[in-house]
Structure 1
Amino acid sequence: MSDFRESIDIDRRPEDVWAYISDFAHLPEWQESAVSTEQLDAGPVGVGSRVRITRHFGRRDMPMTMQLTEYEPPRVWGMQGVDGPVRGHVHGEITPLDDGRRSRVTIEVDFEGKGIGKVLVPLVVRPQIRKELPRNEQHLKDQLEHTAA
């Protein structure tokens, strides 16, 4: 069971949602703590692909490498942190609604702390994500529905 789970309905086709979510360059547009992203592997994205995401937690920017553990377009993705003191585990699903005209996006997130991360996760990371995840999904909805107009 994950620490956090949020869902939101978006007035866009699952393929459109997938195209936006799976392009890591868009992360800072809809995730409040994401400062920047860098794809670390050449070639097409798939299971095993890595991306460095720099996130702002508390007073610090923390780079972390995430590796795709699931990648089933246009429906499921999963990522796991592989370095740093705070390692996120993300599972996302896009469910078609209204015969594929709309989508429900569900994101589950939990964290593992290593070293100082054992202190950071409960004191800084979880409180921030508790507030941020619902806002991130709203930003995602706004970005996708705005670009459809």
Structure 2
Amino acid sequence: MSDTIRLDQPPAEVFDLLTDPEELAVWSHAFDHAEQLDPGPLRVGSRVRAGARVDGRPGDLVFEIVDLRATEVLEVEGRSDDVRTRARLTIRPCDGGSEVTATSRAVVDDEDDDLAVEPEANPAFADVAGSLLRGLEAALGERPSQAP
């Protein structure tokens, strides 16, 4: 699943928000909190644990950064006991702002919930990419731009 949005903020500002683990719960409404598990700046291999509500069930997802290119790309792979997810956010300059494309895929491995196995049949996974972008747009809209 993929979706694209146009934002007024420049790529560096968008990227800064996306790569701040403390801000994850601000722009991704699926999470209540997040914490970086590894010391130092985020890099490929860094892990972030996020408190999640998946299909109404609380739980933690641990995300690992699999691609990170400053101001351009953030790609993460997430895992919990029964959820595997991968999300890629690509940021491009566009008319003084940014164009952000989110691509996501989620799989639920839950033998007790047949509908959860098919993401298209599960409302929690029906529009992950669009939901991420709407949350990002709302979070950035509530902040003054740092652009000159």
Shorter-chain TM-score tier: 0.7 to 0.9
1:93 paired to 2:90: yes
Cα displacement (A) at 1:33 = 1.2
Closer, same or farther: CA 122–113 of 1 in aligned 2, 3 Å: same
Report the counterpart of residue 102 of structure 2 in structure 1.
107
Q: Give the match's secondary structure for 1:32.
A: coil
Conserved 8 A contact 1:32-1:132:
no
Structure 1 unpaired stretches of 5+: none
Q: Which amino acid aligns with 1:86?
A: V
Deviation per CA, 1:45-91, whole angstroms, max 9, x where unpaired?
A: 10000001111122311201110000001101111124421011111
Q: Choose from 51, 59, 72 the match for 1:54.
A: 51
Q: Identity of counterpart residues, as a percentage?
A: 24
| Aligned-pair Cα RMSD in Å | 2.3
- Give the superposition deviation at 1:36: 1.2
In structure 2, do the counterparts of structure 1 residues 123 and 68 end up closer, same or farther at CA, with 3 Å as the change threshold?
A: closer
1:36 matched to 2:40: no
Equivalent position of 1:144 in the other structure: 140
Shift of residue 95, structure 1, vs aligned partner: 0.8
Q: What is the CA-CA distance between 1:32 and the residue it aligns to?
A: 1.6
Return the TM-score normalized by structure 2. Answer: 0.85
Corresponding position of 1:134: 130
Deviations 1:6-47 (A, max 9, x none): 111000100000011110211111212111111100111100
* CA displacement at 1:141 relative to structure 2: 1.4
**1:110 deviation in Å?**
0.3
Give the Cα–Cα distance (whole angstroms) in 2 for the partners of residues 117 and 43 of structure 1: 40
| The structure with more helix, counted as a fraction of residues | 1
Supply the distance in 1 between the matched residues of 2:77 and 2:121 (Cα, whole angstroms): 16
Aligned-partner SS, 1:148: coil
Tell me, in whole angstroms, the C-alpha distance in 2 between the residues paired with 1:63 and 1:36.
10
Q: Secondary structure at the match of 1:95?
A: strand
Equivalent pairs counted in the alignment come to 144
Residue 13 of structure 1 corresponds to 10
Using the size of structure 1 for normalisation, the TM-score is: 0.84
